[in-house]
Amino acid sequence: MGDILGYARVSTDGQNLDRQIDALIAAGVSRKHLYCEKMTGTKADRPELNRLINDLEINDTVIIADLTRISRSTKDLLEIVDKIKNKGAYIKSLKDTWLDTTSSNPYNDFLLTVMSGLSQLERDLISQRTKEGLVSAKARGRNGGRPSKQNEKAEMVMALYDSGMKIADIVRNTELSRSTVNRIIKNHSSKVEIAAV
């Protein structure tokens, strides 16, 4: 049996890796086998991910908190999985239980392709709803000039919330803490009530 390696990523310096790291350690990853980086997943060149793949040996297992941490698209995920397989290693997602190449079940590759495609569809739909929500918010006068980073996050939270998304999903998609998301929604609700008086 090889080593268990963990990969964690957040999109910006202001975001926190602790939740992912705690989950990876709980899954058996030692601190010396953690590969962490703070950069957007849209970049093809992710130095820590590349280093992890280069360091892999036969029978090693890569653990991720969820597939959005490692891949930018279905195509990207399948390419990364192929690189890991070509090293004689495995990959497993804690959240996406279908992403697990550690067993020799013949349905694994089929499930991987289908489920990663569905996950990509979900991300695309969320992105579309976010854009529609932001357009709607702008039409209602909630967007004057170029917003600050903080205001952009608040606008995104409210756009997702207005589109009917659950708070747990908003937390996952914005990478903000639950308390921050709740505070943004509460502040917005208070402003709406004041305006209505």
Residues marked as catalytic: 11
- Strands 34-38, 61-64: pairing is unpaired
Query: Which residues is 7 bridged to in the sheet?
Result: 35, 64
* Contact present, 35 and 8 (Cβ < 8 Å): yes
Three-state SS at 1: coil
- What is the C-alpha separation between 174 and 153, in angstroms, rounded? 8
Burial letters 158-181, b for 16+ CB under 10 A, else e: bbbbbeebeeeebbebbbbeeeeb
